[in-house]
Amino acid sequence: MKRIILPTLILSLMPAMATAGLVDEINKSTGSDLGSKLESKGKDAAAAKGNEKIAAQVNKRLLAEARKNQCSFKSGTDELAPGCNSKAKRLANVIVEVKKQLQGQGQKGFKFVVSGHTDSSGNASKNKELSQRRAQVMVKQLVANGVDQADIEAIGMGSERMLVKPDNTPAKKAKNRRYEVQVRF
Protein backbone atom coordinates (compact mmCIF):
# COMPACT_ATOMS: atom_id res chain seq x y z
CA MET A 1 0.00 0.00 0.00
CA LYS A 2 2.88 2.40 0.72
CA ARG A 3 4.15 1.90 -2.84
CA ILE A 4 0.86 3.19 -4.23
CA ILE A 5 0.41 6.08 -1.81
CA LEU A 6 3.88 7.64 -2.19
CA PRO A 7 3.86 8.05 -6.01
CA THR A 8 0.27 9.29 -5.87
CA LEU A 9 1.18 11.78 -3.18
CA ILE A 10 4.23 12.94 -5.10
CA LEU A 11 2.22 13.34 -8.33
CA SER A 12 -0.44 15.38 -6.54
CA LEU A 13 2.20 17.65 -5.03
CA MET A 14 4.29 18.09 -8.20
CA PRO A 15 3.03 21.59 -9.13
CA ALA A 16 3.87 22.87 -5.65
CA MET A 17 7.14 20.94 -5.60
CA ALA A 18 8.20 22.46 -8.90
CA THR A 19 7.77 25.98 -7.60
CA ALA A 20 9.55 25.13 -4.39
CA GLY A 21 12.56 23.73 -6.27
CA LEU A 22 11.90 20.23 -4.98
CA VAL A 23 12.15 18.73 -8.47
CA ASP A 24 15.80 19.75 -8.54
CA GLU A 25 16.28 18.34 -5.04
CA ILE A 26 14.79 14.98 -6.06
CA ASN A 27 17.02 14.93 -9.14
CA LYS A 28 20.13 15.68 -7.05
CA SER A 29 19.31 13.20 -4.31
CA THR A 30 18.52 10.34 -6.69
CA GLY A 31 21.25 11.13 -9.19
CA SER A 32 18.70 10.92 -12.00
CA ASP A 33 15.92 12.93 -13.59
CA LEU A 34 13.24 11.23 -11.47
CA GLY A 35 11.88 14.59 -10.31
CA SER A 36 11.50 15.79 -13.90
CA LYS A 37 9.78 12.55 -14.88
CA LEU A 38 7.41 12.86 -11.94
CA GLU A 39 6.71 16.49 -12.82
CA SER A 40 5.92 15.47 -16.41
CA LYS A 41 3.58 12.71 -15.18
CA GLY A 42 1.89 15.22 -12.90
CA LYS A 43 1.27 17.57 -15.83
CA ASP A 44 -0.04 14.67 -17.94
CA ALA A 45 -2.40 13.65 -15.14
CA ALA A 46 -3.66 17.23 -14.81
CA ALA A 47 -4.24 17.43 -18.58
CA ALA A 48 -6.12 14.13 -18.55
CA LYS A 49 -8.30 15.36 -15.69
CA GLY A 50 -8.99 18.56 -17.64
CA ASN A 51 -9.91 16.52 -20.72
CA GLU A 52 -12.33 14.44 -18.64
CA LYS A 53 -14.09 17.60 -17.47
CA ILE A 54 -14.28 19.02 -20.99
CA ALA A 55 -15.48 15.66 -22.36
CA ALA A 56 -18.23 15.49 -19.73
CA GLN A 57 -19.50 18.96 -20.67
CA VAL A 58 -19.31 18.33 -24.42
CA ASN A 59 -20.86 14.86 -24.15
CA LYS A 60 -23.82 16.23 -22.21
CA ARG A 61 -24.52 18.62 -25.08
CA LEU A 62 -23.93 16.00 -27.79
CA LEU A 63 -26.22 13.51 -26.06
CA ALA A 64 -29.01 16.08 -25.81
CA GLU A 65 -28.62 17.03 -29.47
CA ALA A 66 -28.60 13.40 -30.62
CA ARG A 67 -31.80 12.77 -28.66
CA LYS A 68 -33.48 15.85 -30.18
CA ASN A 69 -32.35 14.83 -33.66
CA GLN A 70 -32.93 11.08 -33.46
CA CYS A 71 -33.51 9.38 -36.82
CA SER A 72 -35.62 6.25 -36.95
CA PHE A 73 -34.70 3.01 -38.68
CA LYS A 74 -37.08 0.57 -40.23
CA SER A 75 -37.56 -2.35 -37.87
CA GLY A 76 -34.76 -4.92 -37.97
CA THR A 77 -32.80 -3.01 -40.65
CA ASP A 78 -30.22 -0.29 -41.06
CA GLU A 79 -32.49 1.56 -43.48
CA LEU A 80 -33.44 5.05 -42.34
CA ALA A 81 -37.10 5.94 -42.12
CA PRO A 82 -38.13 9.02 -44.14
CA GLY A 83 -37.51 12.44 -42.62
CA CYS A 84 -33.96 12.02 -41.38
CA ASN A 85 -32.16 14.56 -43.59
CA SER A 86 -32.99 17.69 -41.58
CA LYS A 87 -32.25 15.95 -38.27
CA ALA A 88 -28.88 14.70 -39.53
CA LYS A 89 -28.04 18.18 -40.80
CA ARG A 90 -28.80 19.79 -37.41
CA LEU A 91 -26.75 17.18 -35.57
CA ALA A 92 -23.86 17.54 -38.04
CA ASN A 93 -23.88 21.32 -37.52
CA VAL A 94 -23.58 20.82 -33.76
CA ILE A 95 -20.67 18.40 -34.18
CA VAL A 96 -18.85 20.83 -36.49
CA GLU A 97 -19.45 23.65 -33.98
CA VAL A 98 -18.18 21.54 -31.07
CA LYS A 99 -15.06 20.63 -33.07
CA LYS A 100 -14.32 24.33 -33.64
CA GLN A 101 -14.80 25.08 -29.94
CA LEU A 102 -12.49 22.24 -28.89
CA GLN A 103 -9.83 23.33 -31.36
CA GLY A 104 -10.21 26.92 -30.16
CA GLN A 105 -9.43 25.69 -26.64
CA GLY A 106 -6.27 24.00 -27.93
CA GLN A 107 -7.68 20.48 -27.69
CA LYS A 108 -6.17 17.84 -29.97
CA GLY A 109 -6.46 14.11 -30.46
CA PHE A 110 -10.22 13.85 -30.03
CA LYS A 111 -12.72 11.88 -32.08
CA PHE A 112 -16.50 11.85 -32.26
CA VAL A 113 -18.02 8.41 -31.73
CA VAL A 114 -21.48 7.45 -32.95
CA SER A 115 -22.73 4.48 -30.95
CA GLY A 116 -25.65 2.44 -32.21
CA HIS A 117 -28.01 0.74 -29.75
CA THR A 118 -30.84 -1.79 -30.06
CA ASP A 119 -33.60 -3.07 -27.85
CA SER A 120 -33.30 -6.47 -26.20
CA SER A 121 -35.41 -8.35 -28.76
CA GLY A 122 -33.73 -11.08 -30.76
CA ASN A 123 -30.24 -12.53 -30.85
CA ALA A 124 -27.57 -10.51 -29.00
CA SER A 125 -24.85 -10.99 -31.62
CA LYS A 126 -27.22 -10.02 -34.44
CA ASN A 127 -28.28 -6.95 -32.46
CA LYS A 128 -24.63 -5.97 -32.00
CA GLU A 129 -24.06 -6.29 -35.74
CA LEU A 130 -27.27 -4.37 -36.54
CA SER A 131 -26.33 -1.57 -34.15
CA GLN A 132 -22.89 -1.30 -35.81
CA ARG A 133 -24.50 -1.00 -39.25
CA ARG A 134 -26.94 1.63 -37.98
CA ALA A 135 -24.10 3.63 -36.43
CA GLN A 136 -22.22 3.45 -39.74
CA VAL A 137 -25.30 4.70 -41.59
CA MET A 138 -25.49 7.68 -39.23
CA VAL A 139 -21.79 8.39 -39.67
CA LYS A 140 -22.37 8.48 -43.46
CA GLN A 141 -25.31 10.85 -42.94
CA LEU A 142 -23.26 13.14 -40.72
CA VAL A 143 -20.30 13.13 -43.12
CA ALA A 144 -22.67 13.94 -46.00
CA ASN A 145 -23.81 16.93 -43.93
CA GLY A 146 -20.38 18.41 -43.22
CA VAL A 147 -18.63 16.35 -40.53
CA ASP A 148 -15.07 15.42 -41.52
CA GLN A 149 -14.77 11.65 -42.06
CA ALA A 150 -11.46 11.61 -40.17
CA ASP A 151 -13.17 13.05 -37.07
CA ILE A 152 -15.88 10.45 -36.60
CA GLU A 153 -16.27 6.71 -36.16
CA ALA A 154 -19.06 4.19 -35.56
CA ILE A 155 -19.41 1.58 -32.85
CA GLY A 156 -22.16 -0.96 -32.28
CA MET A 157 -23.32 -1.51 -28.72
CA GLY A 158 -26.27 -3.83 -29.33
CA SER A 159 -28.45 -3.88 -26.23
CA GLU A 160 -25.54 -3.56 -23.77
CA ARG A 161 -26.51 -0.06 -22.55
CA MET A 162 -30.27 0.17 -22.51
CA LEU A 163 -31.92 3.41 -21.42
CA VAL A 164 -35.05 1.62 -20.25
CA LYS A 165 -35.09 -1.70 -18.39
CA PRO A 166 -36.98 -3.87 -18.89
CA ASP A 167 -37.94 -2.92 -22.42
CA ASN A 168 -41.14 -4.92 -22.39
CA THR A 169 -43.42 -2.52 -24.28
CA PRO A 170 -43.18 -1.09 -27.80
CA ALA A 171 -42.57 2.41 -26.37
CA LYS A 172 -39.73 1.22 -24.12
CA LYS A 173 -38.16 -0.77 -26.97
CA ALA A 174 -38.31 2.33 -29.18
CA LYS A 175 -36.36 4.35 -26.58
CA ASN A 176 -33.60 1.74 -26.55
CA ARG A 177 -33.29 1.73 -30.36
CA ARG A 178 -31.15 4.82 -30.74
CA TYR A 179 -27.76 6.28 -31.50
CA GLU A 180 -25.65 8.56 -29.38
CA VAL A 181 -22.75 10.85 -30.20
CA GLN A 182 -19.86 11.45 -27.82
CA VAL A 183 -16.39 12.91 -27.97
CA ARG A 184 -13.43 10.77 -26.97
CA PHE A 185 -9.97 12.14 -26.14
CA–CA distance from 39 to each of 6, 44, 123 (Å)? Answer: 14, 9, 50
pLDDT surpasses 80 at 161: yes
The pLDDT tens digits for 117-146 are 999 999 999 999 999 999 999 999 999 999
Q: Residue 36 above 50 pLDDT?
A: yes
Helix extents (H) in 20-71: 22-30, 34-68
What average pLDDT does this structure show over 2-7? 44
For the stretch 53-112, pLDDT in tens is 999 999 999 999 999 999 988 878 999 988 899 999 999 999 999 999 999 999 999 999
| Least confidently predicted of 15-19, 29-33, 56-60, 146-150 | 15-19
Exposure of 60 by Cβ count < 10 A (0-12 exposed, 13-18 middle, 19+ buried)?
exposed
Strand, helix or coil for residue 129: helix
